Chain A
C-alpha cells in the first residue's frame, strides 16, 4: 500500500516565478492538507481540500492556491515567489467521514523548495 507521495522532492526557483507541487494521498484517503515548514520550525497549516473544495485555510496569502482532483490527488500552487517561501512543503492525507471522528493524518516526505 503506497503511502502519501509528493513530487518533486527538491525544487529551485527564482524570485517572482510560480511553482506547482503535487501530492497523491494514501490509498483510501479523501482529504489532503498542505503544510509549510520553515527551517528549524514546526509545520504551519496552509489549507485543506475535501471533495475538490478548499475547506479550511490557514494564515497564508492568496498567492498560495490549490486544487484537488477527482482521484483525490492535490496540487499546491505558489505565485510570485518570495525568498521567504523557501521551506519544506508537506502534504498530509486523511479520511473524513462526516459525523464521525477524523482519522489519522499520514504525511509525505515533502518537497524542499528553495527560492533564489
Chain B
C-alpha cells in the first residue's frame, strides 16, 4: 500500500522569505505522480504543482518548485517570495500514473502561516 507522510504539522514564514515543506512517501510502483495541493479556508483543494516520477527534472510553477528525490522517496515543496495569500494547509499526495486506479493518497497536511 502507498503511504504519504508529512511530519511537520505547522510552519511559519516571513512574508517575502522562502520556506520548504517536507514530504516522504512509500510505494512499490515505478510510474506515478506526486502532487502538492493547497487548501485555503475556502476548503477547495487547489493543485499547486505536479511531478511525474519518470522525469528527473524538478517541476517548477512560478514561485513554487519541488525537490524530487526518487531513490529517497522524498518530495519537498519550496515556496519563494512568500505572500500572505500562501497561508493555507498544504497536502502532499500520490497517484499511480496509469490504469483505472486514479485515487489520490494524501498526507496529513501542514498548516503554513505567513507573517507580515
Show the binding face of A for B, using Cβ within 8 Å: 31, 33, 35, 40-45, 48, 50, 55-56, 58, 88, 90, 92, 94, 96, 98, 100-102, 104-105, 107-110, 112
A105 to B47, CA, bound (A): 9
Name the residue on A nearest B95 (C-beta).
A102
- The answer to whether B104 and A105 have CB atoms under 8 Å apart is yes
A-B complex: 8 closest residue pairs judged by Cβ atoms: A42-B106, A107-B45, A102-B102, A45-B103, A109-B44, A110-B43, A42-B108, A43-B106
Name the residue on A nearest B31 (C-beta).
A101
A98 to B13, CA, bound (A): 43
- The answer to whether A41 and B104 have CB atoms under 8 Å apart is no
B91 at the binding interface (Cβ < 8 Å): yes
Show the binding face of B for A, using Cβ within 8 Å: 4, 6, 42-47, 50, 91, 93, 95, 97-109
- The answer to whether B109 and A56 have CB atoms under 8 Å apart is no
The B interface, classified by DSSP as helix, strand, loop or mixed, is loop
On chain A, the residues within 8 Å of B106 by CB distance are: 42-44
Name the residue on A nearest B101 (C-beta).
A56
- The answer to whether A107 and B101 have CB atoms under 8 Å apart is no
**Closest-CB distance, A3 to chain B (whole angstroms):** 8
A108 to B44, CA, bound (A): 6
A53 to B44, CA, bound (A): 26
Question: Could you give 30 example pairs across A and B, Cβ below 8 Å?
Answer: A31-B102, A41-B109, A42-B4, A42-B91, A42-B93, A42-B107, A43-B45, A43-B104, A45-B105, A48-B102, A48-B103, A50-B100, A55-B100, A56-B101, A58-B103, A90-B45, A92-B45, A94-B102, A96-B100, A96-B102, A100-B98, A101-B97, A101-B98, A102-B97, A102-B99, A105-B102, A105-B104, A107-B46, A110-B43, A112-B43
- The answer to whether B100 and A56 have CB atoms under 8 Å apart is yes
- The answer to whether A104 and B105 have CB atoms under 8 Å apart is no
- The answer to whether B47 and A104 have CB atoms under 8 Å apart is yes
**Closest-CB distance, B102 to chain A (whole angstroms):** 4
Name the residue on A nearest B9 (C-beta).
A40
On chain A, the residues within 8 Å of B4 by CB distance are: 42
**Closest-CB distance, A4 to chain B (whole angstroms):** 9
